[in-house]
Amino acid sequence: MLGAIKRELFEGIRAAVADAGYGRDVEPSTVELEDFDDEEKGEFSSAVSFAIAADAGANPMAVAADIADRHRESGLPDGIDSVTVENGHINYHLDVDRMALRTLSTIDSEGAAYGTRERADPDRIVADVSSPNIAKPLHVGHLRNTILSDALMNVLEARGHDVTRDNHLGDWGTQFGNLLHEYVEFGDEAAFEDDPIAHLLELYQQFEQRDSMLEDVEAFDAVTDEFDEAVTTERQYHVDDGKEWFARLERGDEQAVERWERFREASVERFERVYAELGVDFDLWLGESFYAREGWNDLVVEKALDEDVAMRGPDGSVFIPIYPDEYGDAGDPETASVDPSLDRARELLDEAGSVEDADFDAFYIVKSDGSTVYGTRDLATIEYRVGELDVDQSVYVVASEQNRYFQRLFVAARKMGYDEVHLEHIDYGMISLPEGSMSTRGGQIVTVREVLDAARERARDIVEEKGRDVDGDEVDAIARKIALATVKYGMVASNRGKDITFDIDEAVSLEGDTGPYVQYATTRAYSILDAAETVPAVDAIDPETFNDTDHNLLHQLGRYPLVLEQCEERYDAAPLARYLLDLAHVFNSFYHKNRVLDAEDAAEERLALTDATARVFENGLGLLGIDTLAEM
| Rounded least distance, CB 265 to ligand ARG, Å | 17
Per 3-state DSSP, what percentage of the chain is helix, strand, and coil (rounded to 5)? 60, 10, 30
| Residue in the shown chain whose Cβ atom is closest to ligand ARG | 170
Using the minimum distance from each CB to ligand ARG, give the nearer residue, 71 or 168: 168
User: In Å, what is the CA distance from 568 to each residue of 115, 157, 356, 509, 559?
Assistant: 12, 10, 40, 29, 15
| Rounded least distance, CB 377 to ligand ARG, Å | 8
Of 201, 204, 202, 214, the residue nearest 178 (C-alpha) = 204
Q: How far apart are CA 290 and CA 284, in angstroms?
A: 11
Using the minimum distance from each CB to ligand ARG, give the nearer residue, 359 or 392: 392
| Rounded least distance, CB 145 to ligand ARG, Å | 9
Using the minimum distance from each CB to ligand ARG, give the nearer residue, 103 or 133: 133
Q: Are 246 and 176 in contact (CB under 8 A)?
A: yes
Using the minimum distance from each CB to ligand ARG, give the nearer residue, 170 or 516: 170
Using the minimum distance from each CB to ligand ARG, give the nearer residue, 398 or 454: 398
Using the minimum distance from each CB to ligand ARG, give the nearer residue, 60 or 287: 287
Helix (H) or strand (E) holding 127: strand 124-128
Q: Which residues bind ligand ARG (CB under 6 A)?
A: 128, 131-133, 168, 170, 378, 396, 398
Using the minimum distance from each CB to ligand ARG, give the nearer residue, 127 or 564: 127
Q: How far apart are CA 456 and CA 476, in angstroms?
A: 9
Q: Are 63 and 49 in contact (CB under 8 A)?
A: yes
At 446 the three-state DSSP class reads coil
For residue 404, the tally of other CB atoms under 10 A from its CB is 11
| Rounded least distance, CB 396 to ligand ARG, Å | 5
Helices then strands, counting H and E runs in the chain, come out as 22, 13
| Rounded least distance, CB 130 to ligand ARG, Å | 9
| Rounded least distance, CB 132 to ligand ARG, Å | 6
| Rounded least distance, CB 133 to ligand ARG, Å | 5
Of 109, 116, 110, the residue nearest 537 (C-alpha) = 109
Using the minimum distance from each CB to ligand ARG, give the nearer residue, 319 or 396: 396
How many angstroms from the chain centroid is the CA of residue 33? 23
Angle formed at CA 309 by CA 307 and CA 315, multiple of 5 degrees:
115
Using the minimum distance from each CB to ligand ARG, give the nearer residue, 6 or 168: 168
| Rounded least distance, CB 573 to ligand ARG, Å | 19
Q: What are phi and psi of 522, to 5 degrees?
A: -65, -45
Residue 488's identity, in one-letter code, is K
| Rounded least distance, CB 289 to ligand ARG, Å | 12
Q: How far apart are CA 332 and CA 381, in angstroms?
A: 18
